[in-house]
Structures are given as structure tokens and as C-alpha cells.
């Protein structure tokens, strides 16, 4: 049975449990993913929840997608040389991330890409 990742909603007790787990592991959040059915617009659905006082979900996360690509490689479970991830669906966003494995060189690489929109542009002075 496939879980519906995009429809999952954290409940208060789950937030507390996830918060305890992330504190123990010294992480800032949790990422869940699941496969889409064959013929869907993407291979996987991914959700990244960064736990803070507001429990913020990130609509598109390159680093989480890179970690998933590396995990699938480690598990020898790649869905091919390239695949697409949908993210942000539960937030009414239509994030699409393209992952491409480049094994041709002596230093294999994972390429993460997609379209983006600049929301804020500026300069920080330190």
C-alpha cells in the first residue's frame, strides 16, 4: 500500500515526537517521501518539515532532494538515470525538482535543478 505523502498532516502528538527525535539526532527537521503511481507527473512526492516554534514546511528544498538522491544510490534503489520530485503540494505550491545522476566521470555527481522565482533580492553587509 502506498502512503499519500502529500495528504499527510502532522498531529500535535506527532509534532512533539518528531521534535524529540530531531533534538536527539541534532537535526533541524524531518523529510518524508513516497512514490507516485506510474504515469504521474513525478516519480516521488517529498515534504520537508523544519521544526521550529512555527513548524515550517519548506515548499522546495534542494538539499533534501540531494539527500534523497544519495539515499537511493546507497540503497541501490535509483529509479533510473534521472527522475522528478514534486514538493510543496500540501502548501498549494507546485514545486518540481529534477534530479540527474552523472556517473560518466571519475567523480560521480548528482545534479539538482528546476525552475525558480526570485522572491527577495538584496545584499547583506557584515
Question: Average pLDDT for residues 59-71, to the nearest whole number?
Answer: 94
Please check whether residue 125 lies inside any domain of the structure: no
Q: Would residue 121 count as lying in a domain?
A: no
For residue 78, what pLDDT band results from cuts at 50, 70 and 90?
Answer: very high
Q: Examine residue 91 and state whether it is found in any structural domain, yes or no.
A: yes
Mean pLDDT throughout 61-90? 95
**539526532: which residue's cell?**
25
Task: Tell me what pLDDT residue 28 has.
Answer: 84
Strand 44-50 versus strand 82-87 pairing type: parallel
pLDDT(35) > 70: yes
Q: Residue 9 — very low, low, confident or very high, per pLDDT cuts 50/70/90?
A: low
**Cell 510543496 sits on residue:** 88
| Residue 108, in any domain of the structure | yes
In a domain, 78, yes or no: yes
pLDDT tier for residue 1 given thresholds of 50, 70 and 90: very low
According to the model, what pLDDT value does residue 29 have?
A: 85
CATH at 97: 3.10.310.10
| 28 inside domain | yes
Rounded mean pLDDT, 26-49: 92
- Tell me which DSSP letter residue 78 carries: -
Q: pTM for this structure?
A: 0.79
Domain range for 68: 5-113
Number of Cβ within 10 Å of residue 85's Cβ equals: 24
pLDDT for 114: 92
Residue 37 lies in a domain: yes
Distance CA 58, CA 77 (A): 25
Q: Summarize the confidence of residues 56-84 as an average pLDDT.
A: 94
Name the β-bridge partners of 100: 82, 111
In a domain, 122, yes or no: no
Please give, one letter per residue, the 3-state secondary structure of 1-70. CCCCHHHCCCCHHHHHHHHHHHHHHCCCEEEEEEECCCCCCCCEEEEEEECCCCCEEECCCHHHHHHHHH
Number of domains in the chain: 1
Amino acid at each position: 500500500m502506498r502512503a499519500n505523502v502529500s495528504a499527510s498532516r502532522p498531529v500535535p502528538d506527532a509534532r512533539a515526537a518528531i521534535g524529540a527525535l530531531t533534538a536527539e539526532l541534532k537535526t533541524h527537521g524531518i523529510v518524508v517521501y513516497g512514490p507516485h503511481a506510474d504515469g504521474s507527473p513525478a516519480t516521488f512526492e517529498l515534504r520537508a518539515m523544519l521544526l521550529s516554534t512555527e513548524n515550517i514546511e519548506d515548499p522546495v528544498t534542494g538539499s533534501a532532494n540531494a539527500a534523497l538522491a544519495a539515499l537511493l544510490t546507497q540503497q541501490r534503489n535509483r529509479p533510473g538515470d534521472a527522475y522528478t520530485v514534486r514538493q510543496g503540494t500540501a502548501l498549494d505550491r507546485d514545486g518540481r525538482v529534477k534530479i540527474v545522476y552523472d556517473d560518466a566521470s571519475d567523480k560521480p555527481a548528482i545534479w539538482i535543478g528546476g525552475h525558480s522565482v526570485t522572491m527577495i533580492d538584496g545584499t547583506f553587509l557584515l
